[in-house]
Structure 1
Amino acid sequence: MYSFLRFLVLGLISIVILLGYGLAGGALWFHLPQGLNRFAALALGAVGVGLVISALVSRSQCIRMLGLALMPLVAVFAWWVQISPRNDRVWAPELAQSVTAEIDGSDVTLRNIRNFNWRSATDFDANWDTQTYDLNKLDSVEAALSYWGLEKIAHVLISFGFDDGEQIVFSVEIRKELGEEFSELGGLFKQFELSLIAAKEQDILYLRTNARDPLEDVYLYPLKVDAEARHALFLSYAQLGNRLAEKPLWYNTITANCTTVIYRLVRSFAPDRGFDLRFVLSGGLPEYFAETGMLDWPEPFGDIRTRAAVSALAQAMEPGQNYSRVIRGE
């Protein structure tokens, strides 16, 4: 019985250590220079597996071998925690600026609002604007969900509407460096800084409905949010932009992405809002909105996804038409 328990405990410890080596290997893979990263990750894995096997087959040296197996992990961890996010990298053009805000009572002045004219995802005219918004005129909040082939995952953007017809969209994204591509795995290993983009709908939604290849499926859901909560959510985004400009943060595929950040922002002024797995598997958020009474539509809702779809409307837009009005069927 003692031998069995000993083997079980050692087996569990070994599994934990090997998982640690897997994470450490990922850190080396995504942060060391090309070529060296593969060698270092494979070498570290070989060392870890060798030491764990030695510990399992050796009765007298078991504890010592497991202790030795921990040493490389401690070294990688010490290096890992010193990797800090930065704001001074050579960014992709569409992420070259980050939004900041000046708050003066109900007036919020946003700087670095993206207002690009997109012909394709790589051909565009870059424009960064400054504009003041009066929160007393803020009268709508909508969630835009953009799908690119994964049913369970969508990128979530929040669009604020004002009674003069103005729309401004906030989007939490990775801040890609020039030439860098998104990687879900890389997002677990400090590959990307967190970025907050404030943009016009004719920029950030048009990019997805009309310019990218392949085009994305975009849906627009009006949310039932009272005036106080609308103001609080807008200010939460504005303050997040200022915090990121002062102290950058890492993007994380699971814990700090486009939906988990929104959830934390909402919780900052609505602490009773419970967590739902669909804040991670964001493709299911439309059903969450419907189930929790958040959709600002007259009932019956019908097929909510058909009702919310805007890509076909955007792609049928005529030159000179107002993008925001077109996608709302106006």
Structure 2
Amino acid sequence: MILFAVLFALVLVFFLLKKPSNNRNWQPDVALLPYATFAGDKVTLHNIRNCDYRTETDFTVQHYDKTFDLDSLTSIDLYLVDWGLGSVVHTMLSFGFNDREYVAVSIEARKQLGEGYSTTRGFFRQYELTYVVADERDVVRLRTNYRQGETAYLYRVRGDKKVFQDVFLDYLGSINRLKDTPEWYNALLTNCTSQLRGHTRPYFRKVAWDWRLLANGYADELAYEKGTLDTSLPFAELKQHSIINSKAKEADQDSNFSRRIRDGLPGIDPTALKP
């Protein structure tokens, strides 16, 4: 027992002393970190990813910079991407500027070249945390058009412009911090949903605890019950109407991809999506 305790202590010390790094042989799609610069109410996002996919694993990495006016931030949309487990999904937010331009943020494990994702390894400081700031034709099409067996749901979030701006700026604070100070990804504590929940604190002030905060496949149901999503339909109908896979496949590389996947979605004013 003493020997076991000593060995456990050595492993624990090694685990706790292991430091995250931004200097590794990264996979090309996560090699370049995004960051934001500010000039008054203007925010320039640098290194917005927009990969040109041929298959899920065969793609050309592309990035661009774009300047947005904070005052024109008028919407937040929530993505849930179910890869078959149902109760555990990938979550993303997309920020809309006058319902004309959108930028999505996907919080992920940053993988090294040749490295796959393992949930088990995700508990033990094997991956750094990264925020992929991307064109929707990248992070959405990857999941709807190229990966097999994934179902993407898109929901318009209710709220006021000030809250949207606060959430966006909170995201940018973490994005800029990670550029200089890397952090570990953790499959339970520091993942796509726990981070999203931290950034969207105003929406969770009335939620002391709910099991759906962990089983994030039901996060849309929780948000619906709290009035954060459109409630004009029963939840089961809203969920069915929010599947965007077929729309994304039809839109594919269309420059109006973001508008087309939102066409007809509950809670979105159709007049705002006109070209």
Question: TM-score scaled to structure 1, two decimals?
Answer: 0.75
- Cα offsets for 1:269-301 (capped at 9, x unmatched): 965553432232111111111111001353455
Aligned-pair CA distance for 1:239: 0.6
- Aligned partners of 1:203, 1:318: CA distance in 2, in Å? 10
Aligned-pair CA distance for 1:317: 3.0
Query: Bigger radius of gyration, 1 or 2?
Result: 1
Give the 3-state SS of the residue equivalent to 1:110 in structure 2: strand
Name stretches of at least 5 consecutive residues in structure 2 with no aligned partner. Answer: 265-275
The structure 2 residue matched to 1:257, chosen from 171, 187, 191, is 191
Q: Would you say the 8 A contact 1:153–1:283 is kept in 2? A: yes
Matches within 5 A, 1:223-242: 223-242=157-176
- Cα offsets for 1:85-129 (capped at 9, x unmatched): 100111111111121111333211111110112121122222111
- Cα offsets for 1:15-73 (capped at 9, x unmatched): xxxxxxxxxxxxxxxxxxxxxxxxxxxxxxxxxxxxxxxxxxxxxxxxxxx33431111
Matched with 2:97 is 162
Aligned-pair CA distance for 1:316: 2.6
Q: How big is the alpha-carbon RMSD for the aligned residues of Structure 1 and Structure 2?
A: 1.9
Quick one: structure 1 residues 318 and 231, their matched pair in 2 at CA, closer, same or farther if it must change by over 3 Å? closer
After superposing the two structures, state which structure 1 stretch, 68-77 or 191-200, moved more.
Answer: 68-77
Give the 3-state SS of the residue equivalent to 1:145 in structure 2: strand
More helix by share: 1
Aligned-pair CA distance for 1:159: 0.6
- Aligned partners of 1:147, 1:120: CA distance in 2, in Å? 19
Find out whether 1:140 has 2:70 as its counterpart: no
Matched with 1:209 is 144
Quick one: structure 1 residues 230 and 306, their matched pair in 2 at CA, closer, same or farther if it must change by over 3 Å? same
Matched with 1:48 is none
Aligned length: 264
Matched with 1:125 is 60
After superposing the two structures, state which structure 1 stretch, 293-302 or 154-163, moved more.
Answer: 293-302
Give the 3-state SS of the residue equivalent to 1:303 in structure 2: helix
Give the 3-state SS of the residue equivalent to 2:175 in structure 1: helix
Aligned-pair CA distance for 1:302: 5.6
Aligned-pair CA distance for 1:167: 0.4
- Aligned partners of 1:204, 1:91: CA distance in 2, in Å? 18
Amino acid at match of 1:277: W
- Aligned partners of 2:46, 2:9: CA distance in 1, in Å? 43
Give the 3-state SS of the residue equivalent to 1:76 in structure 2: helix
- Aligned partners of 2:229, 2:196: CA distance in 1, in Å? 17
Give the 3-state SS of the residue equivalent to 2:200 in structure 1: helix
Quick one: structure 1 residues 122 and 69, their matched pair in 2 at CA, closer, same or farther if it must change by over 3 Å? closer
Give the 3-state SS of the residue equivalent to 1:81 in structure 2: helix
Matched with 1:278 is 212
Matched with 2:269 is none
Matched with 2:38 is 103
Give the 3-state SS of the residue equivalent to 2:8 in structure 1: helix
- Cα offsets for 1:187-234 (capped at 9, x unmatched): 00111110101001111101110012x142101011112111100100
Find out whether 1:322 has 2:265 as its counterpart: no
Q: Percent identity among equivalent residues?
A: 35
After superposing the two structures, state which structure 1 stretch, 97-106 or 189-198, moved more.
Answer: 97-106
Amino acid at match of 2:239: R
Matched with 2:110 is 175
Amino acid at match of 2:211: L
Q: Would you say the 8 A contact 1:145–1:155 is kept in 2? A: yes
Quick one: structure 1 residues 271 and 319, their matched pair in 2 at CA, closer, same or farther if it must change by over 3 Å? closer
